Structure 1
Amino acid sequence: MDWNSWHDRYDVADSWMARRLETVRTQIRAVLDAAPAGPLSVISLCAGDGRGLLHVLAGHPRRTDVRARLVELDARNADAASLTARRAGLEQVEVVTGDAALIDRYQDRVPADLVLICGVFGNITDHDIERTIGACNQLCRTGGTVIWTRHRGAPDRVPLICDWFGAQDFELRWVSEPSVGYGVGVHRFMGTPQPVRGGRRLFRFVGDDDLGRRT
């Protein structure tokens, strides 16, 4: 998969990807709007070119409060995200070119107020989805939020993903309706953050042929 050209699909007007992106932005904006005063920590796994978070931060009143780390393996996407952040004057945004599945990438930025796991759950096995959700109590602070995405194609794993988050002391705040053709979920962590268990890999991307479904 060419993950750089894959992002071009977001530019197709009224496509499901464009609508999903706008939904993610709306939910990010809502989290920032509701956040208490003071500094905010954000991490983004498999951040791509950062167009979800960076678009919101560029014009948000809390932009200077946010310290963010975006981790992306594709160097072209990471370079694009870095350029967007610089052009927007987002000096507290750090873009890391590297494997976002390695939990050590976030160790000095967690527990975070907002964790973005977008474009991930549709590209990994069910076992790795559950493993990643199981590690979110190491990534998210009490009262913090995870925003995630997953397609609604068969097998529709969105209800199961919600159950897995619930089992880890996350409260469902919002999930998109099945009829919209994509899944976006928002969960708030109500438990106690756990120490990061270093050296762990959370997931591995697998091809569409192996998964038998779209991303």
Structure 2
Amino acid sequence: MKKICFIFLFLSLNIFAQEIALLKYNGGGDWYANPTSLPNLIQFCNININTTLKLKPATVEPGSLSLFTYPFVHLTGHGNVVFNDSEVKNLQNYLNSGGFLHIDDNYGLDQYIRKEIKKLFPNTALVEIPAAHAIFQQPYSFPNGLPKIHEHDGKRPQAFGIFVKNRLVLLYTYECDLGDGWENAEVNNDPLSVREKALKMGANIIHYIFNN
């Protein structure tokens, strides 16, 4: 019965508005990194893939009931992330009842976030998402999978996911840094081609959420 209530809250609140959110987590990491990234992604999606997202993203905490009002929640940063027991339960309910969490490693997040993902899904493996997956196909084609935006350690970019009943509910982008590519041009001095590639991949994520 509780799960049904969560599903109803998530669906009913999202009929009236499309809004995405940034996750404000505990642990000391800079959850607020890349302040221009989500607004730029929203603007790109509204112009290019006909979404009607509110121009300013919300900020939400992992233990808040308002989490269920957002179909897409973004987590980024460079440092430590900690979810307590009640936050884990709330995030689990959110993801199992239609929500989507995108975790974007802004460099230095990996060693911390993997253990928190394990808390959320102790019995489900984090698996690499193949290039043939729908998230890389529309509306923009990425035949080689996740694009490389920033070098970090020079490793290949990887997209990892958690699937629940064949639905992708958690996307973890590693050695890529989409969020830096979404930022204002002057922040990282990325060329237009790199920023467009990052924004198009972000648009694919948003498109996937609203069409699957």
TM-score under structure 2 length normalisation: 0.37
Higher strand share: 1
TM-score under structure 1 length normalisation: 0.37
